[in-house]
Structure 1
Amino acid sequence: MKEFIYETMYILRPDIGEERTDAEIDKYRNILLENGAEDLDVQHRGKRRLAYDILKHRDGVYVQMNYKAPGASIAVMEKAMKFSDDVLRYLTIKQPVQQPDADDEDGDEEE
């Protein structure tokens, strides 16, 4: 089974307040952890200007998460985001994990 590293970027409504923003971030973080995510790194990027208006909002609160997880956990998280009124947009991308070469496993380097 191949392992993947995922990155999810999502944008929250700017008018929900700091306390509710933190609650939303914790909600999606916990969904991933409950569904098998590892090495979860959450970065609250703060409020930024959007490239174009989304649902009449000019600004949004950007959040980035990097993690290893099974694909099923992403589906659960994205379904929760889809039905949330506080999430304006979300995007998840995956990248294959770099596997070390069989020759380099013993740590000896050729000179």
Structure 2
Amino acid sequence: MTHQYELMVIFDPEVDERQVAPKLDGFLKVITADGGTIDKIDIWGRRRLAYEIRKKNEGIYAVVNFVATSEATNELDRQLKLNEQIMRTKVLRAEEAIAQVAAEAKRSEEKAARKAAAPRKVESAEKAAK
């Protein structure tokens, strides 16, 4: 049974950005050989990392959307993790990715609502003290 997946890969910043797409294509042959399809490859380019990985502050990000079996996806992830030029990988089923984005948006909204409500509480406390 096939599922929709999203893969995020962070390449070592020392990799030539022009080599990212050909390298990814090599790894993605695992998916196409098993009958899966590659829907979209989005190379974000060099970005600052949220935290240091292998004493590096930057990485080259790429996001791939594809349809494949779980076996092919596991093999792809295994091969990516064995490669020295790849610092991190994250594979999510599309349903999980959508749920994560929705949950993060909800948390942001709740945080903004709490922040907006906080000054009002201080004002009403000041009025009560007078």
- Partners of 1:37 and 1:68 lie apart in 2 by 5
Q: Which moved more, 1:17-26 or 1:58-67?
A: 17-26
SS at match of 2:83: coil
The aligned amino acid for 1:12 is F
* Structure label with greater radius of gyration: 2
Unaligned runs of 5+ residues in structure 2 are 96-130
- Partners of 1:71 and 1:15 lie apart in 2 by 31
Q: TM-score, normalised by structure 2?
A: 0.66
Higher RCO structure (Cα 8 Å, ≥6 apart): 1
Unaligned runs of 5+ residues in structure 1 are 97-111
- The answer on whether the counterparts of 1:36 and 1:73 sit within 8 Å (CA) in structure 2 is no
Corresponding position of 1:9: 8
- Partners of 1:37 and 1:85 lie apart in 2 by 25
- Partners of 1:75 and 1:39 lie apart in 2 by 15
Q: Going by fraction, where is helix more abundant, 1 or 2? A: 2
- The answer on whether the counterparts of 1:37 and 1:70 sit within 8 Å (CA) in structure 2 is yes
Shift of 1:21: 2.2
Corresponding position of 1:54: 53
Q: TM-score, normalised by structure 1?
A: 0.77
Number of equivalent positions? 95
Corresponding position of 1:41: 40
- The answer on whether the counterparts of 1:10 and 1:64 sit within 8 Å (CA) in structure 2 is yes
Identity %: 24
